[in-house]
Amino acid sequence: MIERLVLDDPAGAAAERIASVANAGGHIAMTGGETPRAAYEQVASMDVDWSRSTLWFGDERCVAPEDERSNYRMVRIALLDRISGHVPAVRRMVAEHGPHEGAAAYETELRGEFGNGFPEFDLLLLGLGPDGHCASLFPGDQALEERSRLAVGVEQSGLAPWVPRVTLTLPVLNAAREVLFLVAGAEKAAAVARAFGPRPDPSAPASLVAPTAGTLTVLLDRAAAELLPVGLGS
């Protein structure tokens, strides 16, 4: 069951969900890229008790944490450095030593926290690439086929930045209690229609996100929702 919300301020709606789950001491998997920056900046200015929450990452570029392409760096600048008071625990993907090493290390860290089985993030944030990718699960990549590991290395990214990646696997995305996509901009409209339209295109990785027991919500601005049939988004 997918809920599509077309909003004037999808970043604000995402910020509200992040705040709510953080206040409850939840485990939140952060997404990278540029779209979520506004949501992170908004939630950083809200009155949130971060002290019991833990931030994880859905994917990371294989660069140093202070490299401008690092998802961790974007979260640090947009959110962590702006929080006054207690900060959340942060479990970044140590991806700078290579995709496979990074994936193995993150898998160990996830199992240490969540035990066996697939970790059930309280909130898992995702963006959408213009090619329909989410996290670092790119169209046609073998990482999409992984059904037992929690994280894998991606040697060839399907879009810029052209660096290897570490990504959570599809079973982990689908184990989350709440999956929240945040998508904005006309350049995403075609991918939104492919991934979240009435006849999803399975070659768009985001169309494969279907939480086993959790909820799936797609927050959209009007431009990103432009190619959805009228009435499909509320």
Residues that bind ligand 6PG (CB under 6 A): 31-35, 58-59, 71, 127-129, 133-136
Quote the least distance from Cβ 114 to ligand 6PG, whole Å. Answer: 21
Note whether 161 and 133 are within 8 A (CB). Answer: no
Nearest in space to 118 (alpha carbons), one of 176, 167, 166: 176
Using the minimum distance from each CB to ligand 6PG, give the nearer residue, 49 or 107: 107
State the residue number with the nearest CB to ligand 6PG: 127
Give the residue among 27, 3, 10 at the shortest CA–CA distance from 176.
Answer: 27
For residues 103 and 146, the answer to whether their CB atoms sit within 8 Å is: no
- Residue (32 or 153) nearer to ligand 6PG, CB: 32
Helix (H, G, I), strand (E, B) or coil at 126: strand
Least separation, in Å, of the C-beta of 49 and ligand 6PG? 27
Q: How far is the CB of 229 from ligand 6PG (least distance, A)?
A: 23
Residue closer to ligand 6PG by CB (options 119, 132) is 132
For ligand 6PG, which is the closer residue by CB, 49 or 155?
Answer: 155
Q: At its nearest, how many Å lie between ligand 6PG and the CB of residue 8?
A: 18
Residues 6+ apart with CB under 8 A from 42: 11, 12, 15
Nearer Cβ to ligand 6PG, position 14 or 22? 14
**Minimal distance in Å, beta carbon 137 to ligand 6PG?**
8
User: Which H helix or E strand runs over 14?
Assistant: helix 10-23
Beta bridge mates, 29: 56, 124
